[in-house]
Chain A
Amino acid sequence: SAVISQKPSRDICQRGTSLTIQCQVDSQVTMMFWYRQQPGQSLTLIATANQGSEATYESGFVIDKFPISRPNLTFSTLTVSNMSPEDSSIYLCSVEVWTGDTEAFFGQGTRLTVV
């Protein structure tokens, strides 16, 4: 299994500012995934973060708005830049580990409110 520590767990931010979310895994993983979950909705993939290369962003998400770092195989950060109220959401990081099945493990999420 994998244990993921994600922080902060929640924050209230002013519009126009930026917030960096950290994700630490207790084992080395090749890929880390960042998701957004807006209130009452399912998960939408923002980007896939590989160590040593630039993140791969999904349609509708751009690096300038959501820069990602992946300095090593156990850590990643997602920054939400120049925030607006529309960015209020839960942000989750995820990794996949082979446990006999391919399981995805999630961090506890960061509940972001932009005012």
Chain B
Amino acid sequence: GQNIDQPTEMTATEGAIVQINCTYQTSGFNGLFWYQQHAGEAPTFLSYNVLDGLEEKGRFSSFLSRSKGYSYLLLKELQMKDSASYLCAVRPHNTDKLIFGTGTRLQVFP
């Protein structure tokens, strides 16, 4: 079956660094995505990993280890506006669809 696990909730302090983990078990692998979703809004794309290693985009970085079925999203210099849900999604092999994890709700406190 397909299974993607993320922590349900996390809290952090403004200016700090937070790492959101995602583990997956899918029928093959053809890419992993991270999305940000503010309450009441549509998800917005953050990052895409298909090869092992770290992808950096400004304050956000995403890491992938295919052999371990593991990814993390790293958020640096946290801001209040980073309070949102962060969704991990995997594209299994030979398909165009995405399987989403349950999402991690991050709250940033002053």
Contact = CB atoms under 8 A, between A and B. Distances in A.
Interface of A: 31, 33, 41-45, 48, 58, 92, 96, 101-109
Interface stretch (B10-18, B65-73, B76-84, B99-107): B99-107
Contacts of B45: 101, 103-105
Given A33-B97, A96-B96, A103-B48, A42 B42 contact: no
Contacts of B47: 101
Interface of B: 31, 33, 35, 41-45, 47-48, 87, 89, 96-103
A45 B48 contact: no
A53 B101 CA distance: 29
A91 B57 CA distance: 29
Contact of A43 (B41, B44, B48, B100): B100
